[in-house]
């Protein structure tokens, strides 16, 4: 069986590194519930989830699997392309007990195990961290309409060309908010976000 609990507990292969479970950056966009993590690598994975166009929502440390007297708390519950998976982020040299995957499947989820080495430390992650610094900002309607109208006219614009359209919110905060909430998109894999980064409508 399984149960859902909004509590932070550890398990044998991946203990909590922080007393409160918070790691930078603090902001999230698609996390439902409290964003608390076992370690920085789990937080990094959460950053990537927020910038994954296939992910509609995710939560962390909120589903507890129980079998007999054994319990397990996966790091994430992720809804990707309409399919819910439980994700464990574990050290390279360790594995999970066999019963865990069986319990995940029995509970009706897919199961994904991600080793520490497989959490990419790359440009996408750095750009995701930079954008999520502005996760709590909301772009006002007027600025959003001005950006959308400009993209309707030109198709794409450089980031520097977009900045003058923002009149109600700091430009970088407004642009980041529109990216995080999938109104517009930029390339985040090839280079760090900069003045020449091209901005386009978000493609659904």
Q: What token pair was written down for 78?
A: 């992720």
**Contact between 85 and 111 (Cβ < 8 Å):** yes
Q: What digits encode the pLDDT tens for the residues 39-52?
A: 999 999 999 999 99
Cα–Cα distance, 1 to 204 (Å, whole number):
36
Cα–Cα distance, 143 to 148 (Å, whole number):
9
Q: Does the structure show a pLDDT above 80 at 73? A: yes
Q: Does the structure show a pLDDT above 60 at 54? A: yes
Residue whose pair of structure tokens reads 């995701």 in the numeric block:
128
Cα–Cα distance, 48 to 87 (Å, whole number):
13
Order of strands across the sheet that contains 70-72: 2-4, 63-67, 70-72
The mean of the pLDDT values for the chain is 90
Domain boundaries, the chain: 2-118, 137-201
- What's residue 110's pLDDT? 95
Q: How much is the CA Rg of the chain, to the nearest whole Å? A: 19
Cα–Cα distance, 99 to 66 (Å, whole number):
10
- What's residue 85's pLDDT? 97
- What's residue 18's pLDDT? 45
Q: Does the structure show a pLDDT above 70 at 12? A: no
Summarize the confidence of residues 6-10 as an average pLDDT.
31
Please tell me the CATH code under which domain 2-118 is placed.
Answer: 3.40.1350.10
Order of strands across the sheet that contains 198-201: 156-158, 198-201, 184-186
pTM of the complete model? 0.86
Phi, psi of 22 (to 5 degrees): -105, 135
- What's residue 93's pLDDT? 87
Summarize the confidence of residues 130-137 as an average pLDDT.
97
pLDDT band, very low/low/confident/very high, at 94 (cuts 50, 70, 90): confident
Cα–Cα distance, 43 to 129 (Å, whole number):
10
Summarize the confidence of residues 188-192 as an average pLDDT.
97
CATH of 137-201, picked from 2.40.160, 1.10.10, 1.10.3430, 2.60.40, is 1.10.10
10 Å CB burial of residue 161 (0-12, 13-18, 19+) is middle
Summarize the confidence of residues 73-80 as an average pLDDT.
97
pLDDT band, very low/low/confident/very high, at 5 (cuts 50, 70, 90): very low
């Amino acid at each position: 069986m399984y149960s859902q609990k909004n509590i932070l507990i550890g398990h044998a292969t991946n203990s909590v590194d922080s007393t409160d479970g918070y790691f930078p950056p603090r902001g999230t966009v698609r996390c439902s519930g409290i964003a608390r993590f076992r370690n920085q690598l789990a937080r990094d994975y959460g950053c990537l989830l927020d910038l994954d166009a296939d992910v509609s929502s995710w939560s962390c440390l909120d589903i507890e699997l129980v079998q007999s007297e054994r319990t397990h708390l996966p790091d994430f519950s992720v809804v990707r392309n309409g399919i819910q998976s439980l994700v464990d982020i574990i050290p390279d040299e360790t594995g999970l007990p066999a019963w865990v995957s069986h319990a995940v499947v029995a509970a009706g989820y897919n199961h994904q195990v991600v080793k520490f080495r497989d959490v990419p430390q790359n440009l996408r992650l750095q750009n995701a961290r930079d954008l999520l610094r502005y996760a709590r900002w909301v772009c006002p309607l007027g600025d959003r309409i001005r950006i959308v109208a400009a993209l309707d006219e030109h198709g794409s614009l450089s980031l520097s060309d977009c900045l003058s359209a923002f009149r109600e919110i700091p430009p970088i905060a407004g642009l980041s908010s529109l990216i995080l909430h999938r109104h517009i998109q930029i390339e985040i894999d090839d280079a760090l976000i900069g003045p020449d980064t091209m901005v386009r409508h978000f493609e659904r």
